[in-house]
Chains A and B, each alone.
Chain A
Amino acid sequence: MLRRLTILIVALSVSLSWAPAAFAQGRDSSDSSEYLIKAGFIFNFAKFVEWPPATFAQPESPIVIGILGTDPFGTIIDQIVQDKKVNGRGIVVKRLKWGAEPKELKECKILFVGASERAHLDELVQTLRGLPILTVGETPGFAEHGGVIRLVLEDNRVRFEVNVEAARQAGLTISSRLLTLARIIQQTTVDTRKPG
């Protein structure tokens, strides 16, 4: 069983790299439709990730999605998460600025790092090290540099990369079902950049 599952996973993960796009919305790509999908992805991530129990003050404590820097979604993401619940928790979207409220930054469960924050990505990673926060970015090399998930637009299809090591360090458990859909990124690049 386990063996079969492994085969299945490997097969799935291999197929992902070249599988043709299926999302109709992704075809006539405009920013809005692209970010509509990405907003959906971010919401879906919440379903496949487990946070350490201690992270939440109460069982009903909402999952806070923080958007740091540039906000590409507008109200779309608010609409998507509105009245939705994941594992009995509501979802709250907060917009944040780098360096403004570090406390709020650390309270986020999912933190979308906008393209504007590319300059101090490493610093951000350092800041959030050890905290159970799922970082999602879209800039190239985001995952390699310590980000957990990077959304990528390939052939008009939205896909994503996962830095498994970064997730482990953050104490997050990512469902294998999510991982099967993702491209796994090694952390080595992060290490080479770090000495600076």
Chain B
Amino acid sequence: MILQNLSIKRKLTLITMLTSSLALVLFSASFLIYDLVSFRHLLSQDLMTQAEIIGYNSAGAMEFKDEPAATATLSALTAKEDIVTAVLYKPDGKIFTHYSRGNATLPGDLPSHLQERGYRFEGGYLDVFHDVTLNGEHLGTLFLRSDLRQWSQRAKRYASILIVFVLVSGLFAFFVSSKLQGFISRPILHLEDTMRMVSVNKNYGVRAVKSYGDEIGKLIDGFNTMLSEIQQRDTVLQSTNGELKTRTQELEEEIFHRKQTQEELLNAKHAAEEANRAKSTFLANMSHELRTPLNAIIGYSEMLEEETCDSGKVENVQDLKKIQAAGKHLLALINDVLDLSKIEAGKMGIHLETFEVSQVIDEMVTTLQPAAAKNANAIRVHLGDKLSVMRADITKVRQILFNLLSNACKFTDHGTITLSADQIRVEGKNWVQFQVNDTGIGISPKQRENLFQEFAQADASIARKYGGTGLGLAITHRFVQLMKGKISVESEAGHGATFTVQLPAQVVVETTESAAAEETSHTSATVPETKPDMETILVIDDDPSVRDLMSRFLTKLDFHVVVATNGEEGFRLAKKIRPLLITLDVVMPECDGWTVLSRLKNDSELAETPVIMVTVVDNEARGLDLGASNYLIKPVQRDRLAVLVEKHRGARTSTITEDNSAAVSYVADSKAGQVTVGTRASKSRRN
């Protein structure tokens, strides 16, 4: 509808005009109708009166039958314009005389007969019949007909007046309402203007002006309140935005700085790694370079000592022993430093195997007897009932026990060192617990803080008095951690110390490398019996001193020793003589030990022959992977080598089981005092 979209101004004007005009028209119409009706009545009354007068006046003429007089009486009606016809009837109904406006002829549409007295409106005319009487005597009837000209003229005049009146007052109403509608429309239009300004310019600072206190005023108040709310929020939003931008900028700068720092750090890391690699290489080289001469020193001093003993030159034996001890100490130092550096570099692998715990303990006690004897200490061993096998890195377990026991021996004088071992159950898991208790000088609480730190002996003076690198406990601690175990210490200065190590009965390491290595070692551990070439051991090494020492040592153990100076020759000899076992060096010219090992293991005839790696290269995992039975690092611990070779001989010859295996155990020289090893004592087989 068009009306709905009109502006509020027009609407208000229109409504006012329509209302007032409608009221006016209704009023005028009713007034007109009322007036016309009453005028009609008036007309009829007037005509009746007229008829009465004329009737009265014509009564004489009727009585005296004076027609001219009657005609003259009727002729007086010319003054009344609206009377069309007047007729006087005689009592018998015949026309006595008549009057007709304009002309004398009587119109044809007269009532055919005399009708009831009175007036009636008929066919646009007003007819009146009136009795002419004289003293109650009926003389005739008067008929008057009016054409209502007066009435219709009046109606027309009234209607036109009313139309003009309505038009004029409508015009007036238009002007008045045009002026007055501003009271309502102006504030609304102003509000609309303000709203448009706000929405177009996004300027929330504008306010609509309140003109009146009516509903529109309230609307404007509400609008203004809303605006100020929006403005407030806008301001907050803008400031937040600004803040956000600043923050973003700051963040970007920070990210940039961090990136720079990161790059620097990365460079630094690369440099550090490079340096570390260089250090590792240096250490590896150094260890090789250091161990090679040490091998010779220790090996020859041992040989010399034995020969000197045999020849009876006892006075030289002590000096030779000192050379030997110093060499061994130096070797231990080098080994510790290397171990630690390997741990630091995270290159210390774990090689899992299942073994008898008591057996390891026996081994270690035997090994430590000389050290215990030195300070006149007794070693006691307590093995728990539940103790059986465990799965762990046996080398590291050995070293842990060795470190703890040798420490105890070192710091105890004329005391007792007790090693207890048992299997316990904590938190649903089985643990193997080792406890080393001594009656030595003990450790003060302050010393305990740095006990497991590298290069930190309890006291600087201790190093001078007791010797040692200060790395033993640190390495022990690291090994325990590697196997996910725990180590703790209880001590009181002057009253000895108790070290407790708990290792999982089943150590689990996630790396597949060690799992594969374990598998190989397992198979090698269960070497099936094959055709033996009795008592012959093939030694493959390019170092002549090593070949010499090995052959002397093994010969003493009643083996026949064949040596090869390089890989190629070694392989050939192995094919030829089919030895009981082979010792193999890695670093050799032309054909290195890895290659030889692979060829040996790939050869159908030699695959079953055990190979013990004897090298300065510290890569036990690789060796075991390729099929080596054992891995020894130079300089070789002779007792350890002895145990291994005897084991293979034992495995080969079923006849010499119990005695020989027992004979392998190393027992310290008893000259330092009484020695008790576990529950059984062994005889020395050193000669």
Residues in A lying within 8 Å of B, measured CB to CB: 1, 4-5, 7-9, 11-12, 14-16, 19-20, 22-23, 41, 44, 47-48, 86-87, 175, 177-178, 180-181
Q: Give Cα A9–Cα B59 distance, bound, in whole angstroms.
A: 13
Contacts A11-B76, A177-B59, A178-B60 given; does A47 touch B69 at CB 8 Å:
no
Can you identify 23 A-B contacts, CB atoms within 8 angstroms?
A1-B49, A7-B79, A12-B61, A12-B72, A12-B76, A15-B71, A15-B72, A16-B69, A16-B72, A19-B72, A22-B67, A23-B65, A44-B63, A47-B63, A47-B134, A47-B135, A177-B59, A177-B60, A178-B60, A180-B60, A180-B73, A181-B61, A181-B64
Q: Give Cα A20–Cα B66 distance, bound, in whole angstroms.
A: 9
Q: Check B53–A5 contact: CB distance below 8 A.
A: yes
Q: Is B428 an interface residue when CB atoms closer than 8 A count as contact?
A: no
Q: Check A12–B135 contact: CB distance below 8 A.
A: no
What distance in Å separates the Cβ of B7 from its nearest Cβ neighbour in chain A? 62
How does the 8 Å CB contact mask read for B30-65 relative to A, with 1 for contact and 0 for none? 000000000000000000010001001101110111
Query: Given contacts A1-B49, A15-B72, A22-B65, could you give 18 more A-B pairs where the C-beta distance is less than 8 Å?
Result: A1-B53, A4-B79, A5-B57, A8-B57, A8-B73, A9-B57, A11-B76, A12-B57, A12-B61, A12-B72, A12-B76, A16-B72, A19-B66, A20-B68, A177-B59, A180-B69, A181-B61, A181-B69
In the complex, chain B residues whose CB is within 8 Å of the CB of A11: 72-73, 75-76
Q: Give Cα A18–Cα B64 distance, bound, in whole angstroms.
A: 16
In the complex, chain B residues whose CB is within 8 Å of the CB of A86: 135
Q: Check B60–A181 contact: CB distance below 8 A.
A: yes
Q: Check B68–A22 contact: CB distance below 8 A.
A: yes
The list of the 5 closest CB pairs from A to B, nearest first, reads: A19-B68, A177-B60, A15-B72, A22-B67, A8-B76
Q: Check A12–B73 contact: CB distance below 8 A.
A: yes
In the complex, chain A residues whose CB is within 8 Å of the CB of B66: 16, 19, 22, 181
What distance in Å separates the Cβ of B62 from its nearest Cβ neighbour in chain A? 10
Q: Give Cα A8–Cα B79 distance, bound, in whole angstroms.
A: 10
Across the interface, name the chain B residue whose C-beta is closest to A25. B65
In the complex, chain B residues whose CB is within 8 Å of the CB of A7: 76, 79
In the complex, chain A residues whose CB is within 8 Å of the CB of B67: 19, 22
In the complex, chain B residues whose CB is within 8 Å of the CB of A4: 53, 76, 79
Across the interface, name the chain A residue whose C-beta is closest to B66. A181
Q: Check B79–A15 contact: CB distance below 8 A.
A: no
What distance in Å separates the Cβ of A60 from its nearest Cβ neighbour in chain B? 16
| Interface range for B | 20 to 34
What distance in Å separates the Cβ of B63 from its nearest Cβ neighbour in chain A? 6
In the complex, chain A residues whose CB is within 8 Å of the CB of B57: 5, 8-9, 12, 177, 180
In the complex, chain B residues whose CB is within 8 Å of the CB of A23: 65
Q: Give Cα A44–Cα B604 distance, bound, in whole angstroms.
A: 189
Q: Give Cα A115–Cα B436 distance, bound, in whole angstroms.
A: 203
Q: Give Cα A137–Cα B253 distance, bound, in whole angstroms.
A: 154
What distance in Å separates the Cβ of B161 from its nearest Cβ neighbour in chain A? 28
In the complex, chain B residues whose CB is within 8 Å of the CB of A87: 135
In the complex, chain B residues whose CB is within 8 Å of the CB of A22: 65-68
In the complex, chain B residues whose CB is within 8 Å of the CB of A177: 56-57, 59-60
What distance in Å separates the Cβ of A96 from its nearest Cβ neighbour in chain B? 26
Across the interface, name the chain A residue whose C-beta is closest to B53. A5
Across the interface, name the chain A residue whose C-beta is closest to B75. A11
Task: Among A44, A48, A87, A177, find the residue whose CB has the most chain B CB atoms closer than 10 A.
Answer: A177
Instruction: Please pick, from B49, B59, B60, B69, the residue contacting A15 in the complex, using a CB distance under 8 A.
Output: B69
Question: Of residues 661 to 681 in B, which have CB atoms within 8 Å of A's CB atoms?
Answer: none
Question: Of residues 77 to 116 in B, which have CB atoms within 8 Å of A's CB atoms?
Answer: 79
What distance in Å separates the Cβ of A13 from its nearest Cβ neighbour in chain B? 9
What distance in Å separates the Cβ of A152 from its nearest Cβ neighbour in chain B? 13
Task: Among B49, B68, B134, find the residue whose CB has the most chain A CB atoms closer than 10 A.
Answer: B68
Q: Check B69–A19 contact: CB distance below 8 A.
A: yes
Q: Give Cα A22–Cα B96 distance, bound, in whole angstroms.
A: 11
In the complex, chain B residues whose CB is within 8 Å of the CB of A16: 66, 68-69, 72
In the complex, chain B residues whose CB is within 8 Å of the CB of A178: 60
What distance in Å separates the Cβ of B678 from its nearest Cβ neighbour in chain A? 172
In the complex, chain B residues whose CB is within 8 Å of the CB of A181: 60-61, 64, 66, 69
What distance in Å separates the Cβ of B220 from its nearest Cβ neighbour in chain A? 71
What distance in Å separates the Cβ of B471 from its nearest Cβ neighbour in chain A? 159
What distance in Å separates the Cβ of B142 from its nearest Cβ neighbour in chain A? 14
In the complex, chain A residues whose CB is within 8 Å of the CB of B134: 47
Q: Give Cα A175–Cα B59 distance, bound, in whole angstroms.
A: 11
In the complex, chain A residues whose CB is within 8 Å of the CB of B64: 41, 44, 181
What distance in Å separates the Cβ of A155 from its nearest Cβ neighbour in chain B? 12
Q: Give Cα A106–Cα B59 distance, bound, in whole angstroms.
A: 31
How does the 8 Å CB contact mask read for B385-398 relative to A, with 1 for contact and 0 for none? 00000000000000
In the complex, chain A residues whose CB is within 8 Å of the CB of B56: 177
What distance in Å separates the Cβ of A4 from its nearest Cβ neighbour in chain B? 7
In the complex, chain A residues whose CB is within 8 Å of the CB of B79: 4, 7
Q: Give Cα A47–Cα B73 distance, bound, in whole angstroms.
A: 20
What distance in Å separates the Cβ of B71 from its nearest Cβ neighbour in chain A? 8
What distance in Å separates the Cβ of A2 from its nearest Cβ neighbour in chain B? 11
In the complex, chain B residues whose CB is within 8 Å of the CB of A48: 60
Task: Among B53, B64, B79, find the residue whose CB has the most chain A CB atoms closer than 10 A.
Answer: B64
Across the interface, name the chain B residue whose C-beta is closest to A15. B72
In the complex, chain B residues whose CB is within 8 Å of the CB of A14: 72
Across the interface, name the chain A residue whose C-beta is closest to B60. A177
In the complex, chain A residues whose CB is within 8 Å of the CB of B135: 47, 86-87
What distance in Å separates the Cβ of B4 from its nearest Cβ neighbour in chain A? 62
What distance in Å separates the Cβ of A72 from its nearest Cβ neighbour in chain B? 19
Task: Among A8, A9, A41, A47, find the residue whose CB has the most chain B CB atoms closer than 10 A.
Answer: A8
In the complex, chain A residues whose CB is within 8 Å of the CB of B71: 15
In the complex, chain B residues whose CB is within 8 Å of the CB of A5: 53, 57
Task: Among A19, A41, A44, A175, find the residue whose CB has the most chain B CB atoms closer than 10 A.
Answer: A19
What distance in Å separates the Cβ of A34 from its nearest Cβ neighbour in chain B? 15
What distance in Å separates the Cβ of A5 from its nearest Cβ neighbour in chain B? 7
What distance in Å separates the Cβ of A40 from its nearest Cβ neighbour in chain B? 8
What distance in Å separates the Cβ of A97 from its nearest Cβ neighbour in chain B? 31
Q: Give Cα A44–Cα B59 distance, bound, in whole angstroms.
A: 12
Q: Give Cα A186–Cα B267 distance, bound, in whole angstroms.
A: 165
Across the interface, name the chain A residue whose C-beta is closest to B72. A15
Q: Give Cα A9–Cα B61 distance, bound, in whole angstroms.
A: 12
Q: Give Cα A180–Cα B64 distance, bound, in whole angstroms.
A: 11
In the complex, chain A residues whose CB is within 8 Å of the CB of B65: 22-23
Across the interface, name the chain A residue whose C-beta is closest to B80. A4
Across the interface, name the chain A residue whose C-beta is closest to B97. A22
In the complex, chain A residues whose CB is within 8 Å of the CB of B75: 11
What distance in Å separates the Cβ of A24 from its nearest Cβ neighbour in chain B? 9
Q: Give Cα A86–Cα B63 distance, bound, in whole angstroms.
A: 14
Across the interface, name the chain B residue whose C-beta is closest to A48. B60
In the complex, chain A residues whose CB is within 8 Å of the CB of B68: 15-16, 19-20, 22
What distance in Å separates the Cβ of B42 from its nearest Cβ neighbour in chain A? 14
Across the interface, name the chain B residue whose C-beta is closest to A158. B64
Task: Among A15, A23, A41, A86, find the residue whose CB has the most chain B CB atoms closer than 10 A.
Answer: A15
Q: Give Cα A44–Cα B61 distance, bound, in whole angstroms.
A: 11
In the complex, chain A residues whose CB is within 8 Å of the CB of B49: 1
Across the interface, name the chain A residue whose C-beta is closest to B57. A8
Across the interface, name the chain A residue whose C-beta is closest to B54. A8
